[in-house]
Amino acid sequence: MNAPYNVTIVTPWRQHADDVLRYEQRIATLDYPPDRLRLAFLENDSTDGTYDLLQSWAKLDRRITLDKRDTGGPLYPSIVNAHRFHIMGTVFNWALELVDYEWTDYVLFMPCDIVFPTDLLWRLLDHHASVVSPFVFQNGVFYDIWAFSRNGHNFLPFAEGSTADLFGDALIEMETMGGVTLIDADVLRAGVRYSTEDVDRGFMTAARAAGFTVWADPSLHVYHGAIR
């Protein structure tokens, strides 16, 4: 493994009080030098105590930068919706404003309800990619069929057990992807940001337009929600 980089984990929060303790435990078990990690949390519009719990955590962990900025928008389910995307893109970019780009080498964008392996960061960093994502599954089926696309086509649902047969185990170049994403800070310093029209897809399109290549690792799996 290479010498560790400075990594800021960026996580937006809304109405996820039940996930705060679980997420704290996952971060605590992450196999990475704690002094090389910082956490940037942006909470918006929660009514379930999420912000209070994050404040309590932040008082115990000086690595955390926590901000609250509300949009006043509704809480949508996981649907393709222009207003939902506008809210998400806005909040994601607010979260990126919390990053200290003088200290940070890489940003790991991480939703709060993702279950990930303890060696996630090492495996992503070892690729030395400008932008790279793991594959994301839910209940044994590939989850992010909206954001992941290559060769002009979106991914279709497929069983987790068939991943190697479909994609091999080496990095694959992507057109778009989303969810958990490791981003070289140079990409963000170049001004690439999430789109308020199509969020992750817009980010990847902007990164590619700026001359960066985006990749996904089919051998590295994370899980949306609990593993069942």
Q: Where are the domains of the chain?
A: 7-224
- Residue 120, pLDDT > 50, answer yes
**CATH of the domain spanning 7-224, picked from 3.40.50.970, 3.90.550.10, 3.90.1580.10, 3.30.365.10:** 3.90.550.10
Beta strand segments in 1-160, E: 7-13, 37-43, 64-68, 106-109, 114-115, 131-138, 141-142, 149-150, 153-154
Task: Express each pLDDT in 49-106 by its tens digit.
Answer: 999 999 999 999 999 999 999 999 999 998 999 999 999 999 999 999 999 999 999 9
Q: Is 72 exposed, middle or buried (0-12, 13-18, 19+ CB in 10 A)?
A: exposed
Dump pLDDT digits (tens) for 209-226: 999 999 999 999 999 975
Residue 155's pLDDT band (boundaries 50, 70, 90)? very high
Count Cα neighbours of 7 within 13 Å in the Cβ-side half-sphere: 23
